[in-house]
Amino acid sequence: MYDSVDVARAAIALAITPNRTEEEKMIEELAQKNIKAAAVDIGGDIINATHIVIERAIFIARKSGIIKEEHVQDGAVAGAAREAQAQIIAKAVGLNGGGKIAICRSDEHVTVCIFMSIGMMYLNEVVVGLGHRTIPAIKN
């Protein structure tokens, strides 16, 4: 069983994978450790796309089986995604970004990590946002 720090480490590691091959490999490795994981690319105007970031996080979490399609679990992922996004907003004002949302879950711990490059041309800032929520463990 893993605690919130372990799940956060997994989400950060998944978010910073450099390509889809490494991402898929890490998802398989985490599954062997009983940590459910998924990731999705994001990009564009992050400030005006708050709803898109949250929707993508919920969609990928549902699609990958990290959460069930129910109000409490959707809300937990939405809250964690919003918290992660709030941590990067100050650096994103007026700029575009590209990166990845990673979601990891073990038992009741769910963590969303957003890893992005934000800027213009070659003048980029690297940002990381992290949010955590607890939800009832999935019963089989």
Q: What is the DSSP letter of 134?
A: E
Domain ranges within the chain, ordered by starting residue: 4-134
> What is the distance of C-alpha 129 from the center of its chain?
9
Q: What distance in Å separates the CA atoms of residue 72 and residue 60, rounded to the nearest whole number?
A: 16
Model pLDDT for residues 47-100, shown as the tens digit of each residue: 777 888 999 999 999 999 999 999 999 999 999 999 999 999 888 887 888 999
Q: What distance in Å separates the CA atoms of residue 73 and residue 77, rounded to the nearest whole number?
A: 6
**What is the CATH number that goes with domain 4-134?**
3.40.1510.10
Q: What distance in Å separates the CA atoms of residue 108 and residue 16, rounded to the nearest whole number?
A: 23
CB neighbours of 42 closer than 8 A, spacing ≥ 6? 49, 52, 53, 56, 97, 98, 99, 100, 101, 114, 116
Model pLDDT for residues 103-138, shown as the tens digit of each residue: 999 999 999 999 999 987 777 889 999 999 999 775
